[in-house]
Amino acid sequence: MGLLAGGTVIFGLGKIVDVIGKIGPAIVILTIMLGIVAIIMNPSGLATANSIIPQLNLLKASTNWFFSAVSYVGFCLLWQAVARFSEDKTPKFRLLTVIMAGVGVFVGLLVPFDRLVNIIYVINGYVGIILFIFMAYKTIRQRILKSNIRPQDELS
């Protein structure tokens, strides 16, 4: 999984993200509108959905769980992490991708999943608290500064 994620990031996941970022809002709006129209045209469809869904031939991200995991998690997380430290398609980007994919594979193989999740959630909690404190401080400071600045009275 690490090799697949690393290879995909090195070969240009950024271009895919740029294209999706540009057309994404239109896709979301169109999808919501189509959903609303479908519900209005067939309101009883929601009531029968649970019995119909198992009979459908639904598309899947992949034929097995491994490639689904790579598709949904591996590429995105690795690309986001590497993109924070270097420009896309540079030698530094490629080297950092290989190193981070290797570290991810190494840690994933050696640390039991329940322990890994426990460590990550604790770290995320502490980072979230620190981020919240900074955001609250900035908001309070901006409101205090805004209330202290008053327009000068016009001179008569």
pLDDT along the chain (156 residues), means of 10: 70 71 84 92 84 78 73 78 87 91 88 86 91 94 83 52
pLDDT at 113: 83
Which ranges of the chain would DSSP assign to H, the alpha helix?
2-10, 13-41, 45-52, 65-69, 75-83, 91-110, 113-148
First and final C-alpha spacing in the chain? 74
Query: In terms of domains, do 76 and 9 share one?
Result: yes
Query: In terms of domains, do 91 and 142 share one?
Result: no
pLDDT at 36: 94
Owning domain of residue 32 = 2-110
Query: In terms of domains, do 92 and 138 share one?
Result: no
Query: In terms of domains, do 102 and 150 share one?
Result: no
DSSP code for 44 = T
pLDDT at 15: 72
